[in-house]
Amino acid sequence: MLDTAWVRDHLDLLERALRDRGAQVSLDEFNSLDEARRKVLREVETLKARRNKASEQIAALKKDKKDAAALIDEMRGLGDRIKELDAKVAAIDASLEEWLLTVPNVPHESVPRGKTSEDNVEVRRRGQPRKFDFKPLPHWEIGARLGILDFERAAKIAGARFAVYTGAGARLERALINFMLDLHTREHAYTEVLPPFMVNTKAMIGTGQLPKFADDLFRVEKTDYWLIPTAEVPLTNLHREEFLDGKQLPISYAAYTPCFRSEAGSYGKDVKGLIRQHQFNKVELVKFTVPEDSYETLERLTRDAETVLERLELPYRVVALCTGDLGFASAKTYDIEVWLPSYEAYREISSCSNFGDFQARRASIRFRRGQGAKAEFAHTLNGSGLAVGRTLVAILENCQRRDGSIAIPEALQPYFGGKEIVAT
RNA sequence: GGAGAGGUACCGAAGUGGUCGCAACGGGCCCGCCUCGAAAGCGGGUUGGGGCCUAAACAGCCCCACGUGGGUUCGAAUCCCACCCUCUCCGCCA
C-alpha cells in the first residue's frame, strides 16, 4: 500500500510508474476521494472541538452546582450531526482504502523498463547445460519409469495438478527440504520457522494477496482461513502490527511449507508433470531490514537462494524482471531460472523480491532506531530458497543417465541416504 | 462445545459517567543535577494515527484511539449489545 500523503504529493511520478507497469488505475478517483475526505474531516473536527469545550464547561458548572441546562440544550443535536459526518468520513475512508489496496507498488529506479517477460534482463549465468549423448526424457516419464511419481492416482484421490511421490521420490523431496533448510539456517544465518499453513484475511491483505487476487487462492469454507500460496504470507505477517527494535534488524526467517494455489487461468499451461501444481513444497526466505539496506539485502538474499543450485551443480541464470513483469507488491524482483533439458529452456525456480515499505505499510510493520526515536516502516523482502518440486524436476532431468537411473548430486547424498535412484 | 476470569501506554497495575490520552501509582528506558566515575537520591521526559498551518518540521493548534464494532448520553476507559483474543476448569479429540 502506498502512503496517502505520498500519493497526494507525487501524482506525476506515480502516474509514470503505473504506466511502466501497464496498470490501470484512476488517479482522479484518488484526488476526489482525498479532497472530499479532508473537507468533511475539517467540518466534523470543528464540531468535535466545540463539543469537547462545552463538555468541560458543563462539568465545571455542575461542579459549582450551577445550572447547565442551557448549554446541554445547545449541545443536543450536535451529537447527531457529528455521527452523520463521522459516517460520511468512514464511507470515504473505506473507498480510499480500497483504492490504495489495489494500487501496485512503484518499481525501483534500477528496474528495467519493459512490457512483458521478453523485456527481462539476464543478469548472470552459472553452470553449463549438459550435452546429452542420448535423448533426455521429461521428468514425468522419468518419474513413471522409476516408479517414484504417480499422477494418475493423484488425480483419483484429489484431481488434476496434484502428484503422489512414492519411495525414492518422496525421500528425494524430503532430502531437498532438509538440505535447503540446513544450508540457510547454518550457513546463511536464517532462523527456522514452522508456521501455520492457513492464515486469516488480515494476513493475506498484509502481504498483498488480498483483496485483488482472491481467485488465485484456496479458501476454507465457513471460516476466515485461507490456504497459504507461499510461506511469505505467514512469515512476513509474523511481525504485523509490531514495533521492531532497529538493532535487531535485519531479521531473517527460513521456512518449509506446502503452498496452495488455485492456478486459475493457467488452463493448458504446464499440464504435464510437477511444474504447475495446486499443492507444492517450498522453502521460503523472508527478511526485514532498515530502508537504506534493502536493495543490498536483495542481492544477498538472491545469492543465498542461488547457492542451493550451485551446491546441487545445476545450471541456472538470474534475470531482473522488467517493470511490466513485476509482481503487484514488488519494487524489484530477480527470478532464478534453472535449466530444464526437456524444455530446452531456463524455468523459474525462485523469485526474490524487495517490497520496500509496501507490505510494511499494509501490515503495519515498524521499527525504531533507538529509545524514543520516531517510528519508521521496515522494508520486507522474500525469495524462494527454493521451490522444492521444481528442484526435484531439475535433478531428475539434469542428472538422468542413459540407463534411466538418476545420479544424486554429491551435496545431497548425505540427506538422501544414497548416490542414485534406479528402477526397482 | 459448556462455565468462569480478563484484555488500559515499553512492562505491571489503578481508574466503574464529568475538564482521563498532561490515564494515578510501581518498574523500565532516556536527559539533566549530584559524583573522580558509578550507584543511590533529586528534577524532567518517555504511544500511535489523522487534519489544519507551514518551504518544511519529530514548532504550533485541533481531532481520533483504553481488544474490535455498534448503542445510550450534552459528555463513555467507565453503562448496554454483539464479536474477537488470552487464561482457568469441564467435555471432545491427534
pLDDT digits (tens, 9 = 90+) for A311-342: 999 999 999 999 999 999 999 999 999 999 99
| CA separation for the pair A188, A306 (Å, rounded) | 12
pLDDT value, residue A358: 95
| CA separation for the pair A349, A233 (Å, rounded) | 19
Query: CA A370, C1' B36: Å apart?
Result: 30
Name the active-site residue from A161, A261, A361, A362.
A261
Answer yes or no: is pLDDT of A70 > 90: no
Name the active-site residue from A51, A130, A276, A300.
A276
| Nucleotide at minimal C1' distance from the A9 CA | B56
pLDDT value, residue A374: 80
pLDDT value, residue A270: 84
Q: Classify the complex by whether its ipTM is higher than 0.95, answering yes or no.
A: no
| CA separation for the pair A373, A67 (Å, rounded) | 48
pLDDT digits (tens, 9 = 90+) for A171-183: 999 999 999 999 9
pTM: 0.93
Average pLDDT, chain A: 93
pLDDT value, residue A170: 96
Answer yes or no: is pLDDT of A12 > 80: yes
Q: Annotated catalytic, A348?
A: yes
pLDDT value, residue A424: 78
Which is it for strands A198-200 and A225-227: parallel, antiparallel or unpaired?
antiparallel
pLDDT digits (tens, 9 = 90+) for A197-228: 999 999 999 999 998 999 999 998 888 889 99
Name the active-site residue from A145, A348, A368, A376.
A348
pLDDT digits (tens, 9 = 90+) for A249-296: 899 999 999 999 998 877 777 888 999 999 999 999 999 999 999 999
Query: CA A241, C1' B68: Å apart?
Result: 15
* Other C-beta atoms lying within 10 Å of the C-beta of residue A69: 10
Worst-scoring range by mean pLDDT, A73-82, A248-257, A346-355?
A73-82
| CA separation for the pair A149, A98 (Å, rounded) | 44
Q: Annotated catalytic, A276?
A: yes
Answer yes or no: is pLDDT of A352 > 80: yes
Query: CA A321, C1' B63: Å apart?
Result: 44
pLDDT value, residue A17: 93
| Nucleotide at minimal C1' distance from the A77 CA | B74
pLDDT value, residue A216: 93
pLDDT value, residue A69: 80
Of A106, A355, A380, A352, give the one whose Cα is nearest residue A242: A380
Answer yes or no: is pLDDT of A62 > 90: no
| CA separation for the pair A419, A413 (Å, rounded) | 6
Average pLDDT over residues A31-48: 93
Average pLDDT over residues A101-116: 94
Query: CA A364, C1' B42: Å apart?
Result: 40
Q: For residue A322, how many C-alpha atoms fall within 13 Å in the half-sphere facing its CB? A: 15
Query: CA A90, C1' B84: Å apart?
Result: 21
Q: How confident is the model at residue A378 (pLDDT cuts 50, 70, 90)?
A: very high
pLDDT value, residue A24: 87
Of A415, A103, A100, A138, give the one whose Cα is nearest residue A271: A138
Q: Report chain B positions within 7 A of protein CB atoms.
A: 10, 18-19, 29-30, 45-52, 58, 62-64, 70-71, 73-75
Q: How confident is the model at residue A65 (pLDDT cuts 50, 70, 90)?
A: confident
Average pLDDT over residues A87-96: 90
Query: CA A222, C1' B3: Å apart?
Result: 26
Answer yes or no: is pLDDT of A106 > 80: yes
Protein residues contacting strand B, judged by Cβ under 7 Å:
A 3-5, 38, 41-42, 44-46, 48-49, 51-56, 58-60, 62-63, 72, 75-76, 78-79, 83, 90, 243, 366, 371-372, 374-375
Share of chain A above pLDDT 70, in %: 100
| Nucleotide at minimal C1' distance from the A224 CA | B84
pLDDT value, residue A221: 84
- Omega within 30 of 0 (cis) for the link into A112: no
Query: CA A294, C1' B50: Å apart?
Result: 29
Cell numbers placing A211: 483483496
Worst-scoring range by mean pLDDT, A56-70, A145-159, A306-320, A328-342?
A56-70
* Other C-beta atoms lying within 10 Å of the C-beta of residue A315: 20
CA angle A202, A207, A209 (to 5 degrees): 80
Name the active-site residue from A350, A351, A353, A384.
A351
Average pLDDT over residues A235-241: 92
Q: Annotated catalytic, A351?
A: yes
Type of residue numbered A196: P
Average pLDDT over residues A69-93: 87
